[in-house]
């Protein structure tokens, strides 16, 4: 099911950039839980299982519907990164000064989304899943 089918093309593009930033940041910040003998220090979004992608899109869509009106055009990817960082309690995010006008609101909305415990892990099928 295409959850964006009723969106205008330009709004779809903005949401897609937001999700891309979110996923890139998730893959960059998470500690790989792979074979300890394998030197892996980064996950890649194309390694995500369909279920993980669906969850990311759903989480991002809910946030986007509530917050897109305060995210300036051209800042979608950064906003996606900051959504991941803020919701998971990393040392940066919407609250750190880069969003002076709406940082408090975006932080509040991110925290309401809840933390994703367990990070990313590689399933038996070789795909990545959110814990």
Q: What is the pLDDT along the chain (131 residues), one digit of tens a residue?
A: 576 788 899 999 999 999 999 999 988 887 655 555 554 556 788 889 999 999 999 999 999 999 999 999 999 999 999 999 999 998 899 999 889 999 999 999 999 999 987 778 888 998 988 88
**Residue 39, pLDDT score:** 47
Helix, coil or strand: residue 121: strand
Q: What DSSP designation does 69 have?
A: G
**Residue 116, pLDDT score:** 87
**Residue 53, pLDDT score:** 93
**Residues ≥6 apart with Cβ < 8 Å to 71:** 14, 18, 79, 102, 106
Record the pTM.
0.88
Instruction: Please give the angle made by the CA atoms of 16, 21 and 22, to the nearest 5 degrees.
Output: 95
């Amino acid at each position: 099911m295409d959850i964006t089918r009723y969106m205008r093309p330009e709004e779809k593009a903005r949401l897609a950039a937001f999700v891309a930033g979110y996923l890139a940041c998730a893959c960059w910040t998470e500690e790989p839980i792979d074979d300890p003998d394998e030197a892996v220090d980064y996950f890649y979004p194309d390694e995500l299982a369909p279920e993980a992608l669906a969850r990311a899109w759903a989480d991002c869509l809910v946030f986007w519907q509530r917050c897109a009106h305060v995210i300036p055009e051209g800042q979608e990817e950064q906003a996606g990164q900051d959504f991941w960082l803020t919701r998971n309690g990393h040392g940066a995010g919407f609250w750190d000064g880069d969003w002076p006008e709406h940082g408090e609101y975006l932080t509040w909305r991110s925290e309401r989304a809840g933390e994703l415990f367990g990070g990313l892990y590689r399933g038996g099928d070789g795909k990545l899943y959110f814990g």
